[in-house]
Amino acid sequence: MSHNIAVIPGDGIGIEVMPEGVRALEAAAHRFNLDLNFTEFDFASCDYHERHGKMMPDDWRDQLGSMDAIFFGAVGMPERVPDHISLWGSLLQFRRAFDQYVNLRPCKLMPGIKSPLAGRAPGDIDFYVVRENTEGEYSSVGGKMFEGTDREVVIQDTVMTRTGIDRVLKFAFELAGTRPRKKLTSATKSNGISITMPYWDERVAEMAKSYPDISVDKFHIDILTANFVLHPDWFDVVVASNLFGDILSDLGPACTGTIGVAPSANINPEGHFPSLFEPVHGSAPDIFGKGIANPIGQIWSAAMMLEHLGHADAGKAVVDAIERVLAAGPGDAPLTPDLGGRGSTGELGETIAEAIKNG
């Protein structure tokens, strides 16, 4: 089966780590006999903005819409283009236009990486955060009245639809079903937010009926954040509304170490539109140009993309390769400085690509 992949390096270290992501994909394609066609795009970058006065061409939807997936680096150069313009003019457009209603982030403690949580070893932390990505608390319903007077009032309504909740829950339950522990945790706050959150809970209970082999629990968001830190080993798949998921999807990966390794995906599960895979980190202007950016976040995103495209074995091979190279440690592998080594972006990328090929 062949797949058309849009490659968008973007800005800063996105430009440095992207070639390593592509190298890993090529290694996996070689080993698993996949036919991956890459098309590189220069838009969704501040360079493009400087040349054209906008982040993307007017027909970006047509250019990207027929792709099977978007492999993204990072966007943003705040010295040159304000962040709200670069981000809203690119990534957030993709999310909306391509209905990428699932934001997925693995939170997995890898070998050789020190968790900021004391006493945690690889195996202790291995779960996913599934965030609803299109509605909920991040709505444009509301407004401001009596501006500038003593009666000044602002209202922003949470919008939860049955369709919106059910489809993200379905994705989360399905994901839990693919994992050995088969456990799903729902983030709620039905004790305080007394209309939308009880409804969320109701939909979880309803969906659970269709997945009898998945064990389900729920926590209020306040104690849930505490439990991420105190008992990260309790979790397998955690599903949350847009706001709660936003918080959990930063906290989860933070519990597993360096920002340089964390991947993420914005997914349209039905495949009506391309899904987007990118490292969690941004363009890191502070280290751009030094060749020391950690490429693992980009490479792990490639693994998520392979899995999404139906090649779970290839995705697993990429994650296994990352784990083996990390386990070798800075003495035996060219790890980048954020991992305590002295390797370059390219050296680490090459080593992982070799590990993918050799299996």
Among 15, 18, 69, 75, binds ligand NAI (CB under 6 A): 75
The residue to which tokens 């083996």 are assigned: 324
Cα–Cα distance for residue pair 100/127, rounded to 1 Å: 21
Which of 100, 283, 344, 351 forms a contact with ligand NAI (CB under 6 A)?
283
- Rounded CA-CA distance 169/101 in Å is 11
Query: Residue 25 or residue 262: which is nearer to ligand NAI going by CB?
Result: 262
263, 279 in Cβ contact below 8 A?
yes
Least gap, CB of 27 to ligand NAI (angstroms):
20
Q: How far is the CB of 90 from ligand NAI (least distance, A)?
A: 8
284 or 356: whose CB is closer to ligand NAI?
284
Q: Which stretch binds ligand NAI (CB under 6 A): 73-81, 93-101, 203-211, 247-255?
A: 73-81
Q: What is residue 279's three-state secondary structure?
A: strand
Structure tokens at 192: 């305080």
Which residues form the interface with Mg ion (CB under 5 A)?
A: 246, 250
Separation CA 16–CA 283 (nearest Å): 10
User: What's the min distance (Å) between Cβ of 199 and ligand NAI?
Assistant: 31
- Please identify which residue in 240, 284, 299, 303 interacts with ligand NAI, judged by CB under 6 A: 284
CB of 246 or CB of 338, closer to Mg ion: 246
Residue 112 region by backbone torsions, left for phi larger than 0, else alpha for psi between -120 and 50, else beta: left
Select 112 or 136, whichever has its Cβ closest to Mg ion.
Answer: 136
Q: Which two tokens stand for residue 286?
A: 């502070």
CB 280 within 8 A of CB 254: no
- Residues binding ligand NAI: number (CB under 6 A): 22
Residue 278 contacts which entry, Mg ion, ligand NAI, none (Cβ below 5-8 A, type-dependent): ligand NAI
Residues 6+ apart with CB under 8 A from 153: 144, 145, 146
Task: Compose the 89-118 pattern: x for residues touching ligand NAI by CB under 6 A, - for all others.
Answer: --x---------------------------
Bridge-partner residues for 158, per DSSP?
A: none
Q: Confirm or reject binding of residue 260 to ligand NAI (CB under 6 A).
A: yes
β-strand 102-108 against 215-220: which pairing, if any?
Answer: unpaired
Site residues, ligand NAI (CB under 6 A): 13, 74-76, 78, 83, 87, 91, 259-260, 278, 281-287, 293-294, 297, 338
